[in-house]
Amino acid sequence: EAQVTQNPRYLITVTGKKLTVTCSQNMNHEYMSWYRQDPGLGLRQIYYSMNVEVTDKGDVPEGYKVSRKEKRNFPLILESPSPNQTSLYFCASSLSMRENQPQHFGDGTRLSIL
Partner 1 sequence: GNSVTQMEGPVTLSEEAFLTINCTYTATGYPSLFWYVQYPGEGLQLLLKATKADDKGSNKGFEATYRKETTSFHLEKGSVQVSDSAVYFCALSDRSRTGNQFYFGTGTSLTVIP
User: Which chain residues interact with partner 1 by CB under 8 A?
Assistant: 4, 31, 33, 35, 40-45, 48-50, 54, 56, 58-59, 90, 92, 97-108
Smaller CB separation from partner 1, 56 or 70 = 56
Q: How far is the CB of 4 from partner 1 (least distance, A)?
A: 7
- Answer for the pair 95, 30: CB distance below 8 angstroms, yes or no: yes
> Which of residues 61 and 63 has its CB atom nearest to partner 1 in the complex?
61
Compute the distance between CA of residue 114 and CA of residue 98 in angstroms, rounded to an integer: 39
Whole-Å CA distances, 77 to 33, 49, 102: 13, 14, 25
CA distance 94 to 25: 10
**Whose Cβ is closer to partner 1: residue 77's or residue 95's?**
95
Q: How far is the CB of 72 from partner 1 (least distance, A)?
A: 17
